[in-house]
Structure 1
Amino acid sequence: MPRPSETVYDALKSLIQTGQLAPGEHLVEDELCARHEVSRTPVRNALRKLSSEDLVTIKPHRGAFVASWTDDDAAEVMTLRSMLEPHAAALAAQRRTDDQLADLRGLCGHMETCEQDRPRDFRDELARLNHELHLTTLQAAASPRLYNITATLTRAPLMTGSFQFYGDDQLRRSLREHRDLVDAIAHRDAPAAHAVMEAHLRLAYRTMLTK
C-alpha cells in the first residue's frame, strides 16, 4: 500500500502534468489535507518532492504554487530536447531489444485506439501514453546518462500537458509520427529515427507556440 505522501504526490503530479492545475495556481496545504484526508506532513513531503522536480515552486511565507513556465523556458527545454532525443532515437534504432520494440508498438496501438474511441479525459490518457513512449525510446537507447538528463526534460509541465493544445488533425499527425519513429527503430534505421524524432519535436513546439 503506498504511503500517504506518495498518494498525494502522484495525484498532484498527474493534475499538474495534464494541465488540470494551472501554472501559478496556489496549492493550499489545508485544502490538500482535507482533499486527501491526510495530515500536513505527507502533503509537505509531496510538495517538496514536486519542487525538486521543478513542478512546484515553494515561496517562503507564501506557500506552494504550480511552477510557471515562460516562453524562454519552453524554448530552452525544446532546444535541449531537440538535441538529445533525436540522438537517443538513433541509438534506440541500433540498440533496442525485441521486448522494447514490442512495447513501443503496443504504446502506438493504445494511443491510436484512445484517439479513435475518445473516452472521458482521453487527452490525459494520450499525454500519459506519449510520455511513456518517449521514455521507452530513451530506455532503448541504453545510455543511462542520456536517459537521466533527458527524462527530466520530458517531465516539464509544458511538455506533458501539450496534448491539451492539439486539435484533431494535430493529434493524428503526432500519432502518425510515432508510428514512423517506431518503424525506423524496428528497421534499425538510425538516420531515419533521428530525423523523425527531430521533426516530431519541432512540430510539437510549433503547435505550442500558436496556442
Structure 2
Amino acid sequence: MGRPADEVYNALKKAIQTGRLAPGEHLVEDNLRTEYGVSRTPVRNALRRLAENGLVTIEANRGAFVASWTSDDAAEVMSIRALLEPHAAALAAERRSDEQLNRLLEICATMEECERRRASDFRDELARQNHELHTTVLESAASPRLYSIAANLTRAPLMVGSFQFYSDEQLFRSLREHRDLVAAIEARDAASARAVMEAHLRQAYRTMTTPAPN
C-alpha cells in the first residue's frame, strides 16, 4: 500500500480511536477523497485495512462505517484484560529492566504534565500515553505470548478512546493509579502490582460504561 493510503489510514485510525469519528458514523468515500486530497484507490485501501483491524465495517451497497462497540463488547474486552494485565503487571515487577522502569516513570510524568497544561487536544495525548504505559508494562513482563494477546486488546477502539469519557476527577484518579502501579513495579512488589492493575482496569470499565459529567 502506497504512502497516500498510509496517510489516510493513520488519520482515520487516530480520529476513530480518539472519538472524533463516532461509532456508526458513515465514512463516505467521496468526502474522504476531498478531505485528504487523494484518489479513490488510497481511500478504499485505507478503509479495507481499517476493516481488517476491526475499526471499520464495510457493508454491501451501503459503504463503510465506524465500527460500533456495545456495552457487551466493552465488558468482554475488559474482563479479558482484567485477567491478563494484572498477571503482566506482576511479571513486570519481577522482570522489568531499569530502562523499562525509567520509561514508565517518564510516561507518568508526561501524562501528569499533559493533564496540568490541558492543551486543546490533551485528551488525545493522554490516550496515546496511556496506551504506551500499558504496552510498556506488557513489554516489561518479558512474555511474548502474553504480549501478543494482551496488546491487541489495548488497541481496541473503545479502549484507546476511553479518556474522552473521563471527568476531571476520574482523570486524576487514573493518573494516581498509574503512579501506584509504577511504584509497585519499581519496588518489585508483584502482589501489589497485580492488585493495582486489576483495580485500575475495573475502574476504567466502570468509567466507560457510566461516564460522569465534567
* Common fold: TM-score over 0.5: yes
- C-alpha displacement at 1:53, in angstroms? 1.4
How far 1:143 moved relative to its partner? Answer: 1.3
* TM norm structure 1: 0.97
**What is the match of residue 190 of structure 1?**
190
Aligned-CA RMSD value: 1.0
TM-score computed with the length of structure 2 as normaliser: 0.95
Task: Tell me what 2:75 maps to.
Answer: 75
Shift of 1:120: 1.1
Unaligned runs of 5+ in 2: none
The Cα of 1:46 is off from its aligned counterpart by: 1.2
Corresponding letter in the other structure for 1:182: V
CA offset at residue 67 of structure 1? 0.3
Q: CA deviation at 1:94?
A: 1.2
Taking the TM superposition and a 5 Å limit, the aligned residue runs for 1:46-65 are 46-65=46-65
Query: What's 2:120 paired with?
Result: 120
The answer to whether residue 6 in structure 2 is matched with residue 6 in structure 1 is yes
CA distance in 1, matches of 2:86, 2:72: 21
Which deviations, in whole Å up to 9, do the C-alpha atoms of 1:20-75 show, x marking residues without a partner? 00000011111111111111221112111111111111111211100001111111
Letter in 1 for 2:152: T
What residue ranges of structure 1 are gaps of 5+ in the alignment?
none
In 2: Cα distance, 1:56 partner to 1:29 partner = 13
Task: Indicate the residue corresponding to 2:130 in structure 1.
Answer: 130
- In the alignment, is residue 172 of structure 1 matched against residue 197 of structure 2? no
Most deviating of 43-52 and 197-206: 43-52
Q: What letter corresponds to residue 199 of structure 1 in structure 2? A: A
- 1:184 aligned partner, one-letter code: A
Identical aligned residues as a percent: 70
- Give the distance between the partners of 1:96 and 1:16, measured in 2 at CA: 32
CA drift at 1:14:
0.5
Tell me how far 1:160 sits from its aligned partner: 1.0
Instruction: Give, in whole Å, the separation in 2 of the partners of 1:195 and 1:119.
Output: 32
In structure 1, what is the Cα distance between the partners aligned to 2:45 and 2:132?
A: 25
Q: Secondary structure at the match of 1:65?
A: strand
CA distance, structure 1, for counterparts of residue 75 and residue 56 of structure 2: 20
| Aligned equivalents of 1:88, 1:150: Cα separation in 2 | 9
**Distance of 1:91 and 1:53 partners within structure 2:** 28
